[in-house]
Amino acid sequence: MIRPRALVLCALALSACGPTAKEPTLLEQEAAQENRVASLSGLDRVFEVPGAAIDAANLFDFQVGPYAPAQGSPAFRAIGKPVLIYGESRETGNLASFVATGSTAEQIDAVTFTLTIKDDRELDLTLRRFARVVRGYLKRFEIDGAQVEAAVEANDAAKGQLPEGIWELSRTPAKGNPDQLIVTFTRPGATRQSS
């Protein structure tokens, strides 16, 4: 039999704890995530919503796989299949590729478009087509990509700032290998890692 004094002590102990915090339900968590995603725009949306970054790339036929754990560094990657920009075949033509990389599953640190130039007979046309792909991708996120497009068409190294991110265009001529033009968009605060 519990004595009255013991009951009072139990009641006091329980009341000292106060009301317990209610954990949000799964539906509440999903609604909060949807609201957060809806509020993002520009490169913030690219970096914070890996699925949106991949879906936009797939509109340009890159057939990007899921953003998933990868061997080595960076820890997460989504890699697209090369798209023929100019030429008769993938073996001899100029190819564009897409890669998204990051250190966590929730966030992309960098998105990279690479143009591999194997046939330079119509280089100006190749550069214009590649520039349109990159600018078209940015347009999906309501980003004005005119400065990036101009840099690609000029075919020279360049850097710049966009809302919510940094862009860099580099060129890698290699002995015995095709030249590459690489456009990278990096999240502020992210460390650029090799892809």
Helix locations, 18-122, DSSP H? 26-39, 42-48, 50-58
Residue 149's contacts (CB-CB under 8 Å, 6 or more residues apart) are 131, 132, 134, 135
% of the chain surpassing 90 pLDDT: 56
pLDDT band at residue 33 under the 50/70/90 scheme: low
Rounded alpha-carbon distances, angstroms, from residue 76 to 36, 39, 72: 22, 24, 9
Please report the sign of the dihedral spanned by the C-alpha atoms of residue 70, residue 74, residue 78, residue 83. negative
Radius of gyration of the chain (CA): 25
Residue 47's contacts (CB-CB under 8 Å, 6 or more residues apart) are 53, 107, 108, 109, 111, 164, 165, 187, 190
* 20 three-class SS: coil
Tokens of residue 189, six digits:
């605060």
pLDDT value for 80: 97
Checking if the pLDDT of 99 tops 70, the result is: yes
123: number of CA atoms within 13 Å, CB side?
Answer: 13
Checking if the pLDDT of 140 tops 90, the result is: yes
pLDDT band at residue 63 under the 50/70/90 scheme: very high
Helix locations, 72-190, DSSP H? 123-139, 146-154
Checking if the pLDDT of 17 tops 90, the result is: no
* 118 three-class SS: coil
Its pTM stands at 0.79
How far apart are alpha carbons 131 and 148 in whole angstroms? 8
Checking if the pLDDT of 91 tops 70, the result is: yes
Does residue 159 come out as left (phi exceeding 0), alpha (psi in the -120 to 50 range) or beta?
beta
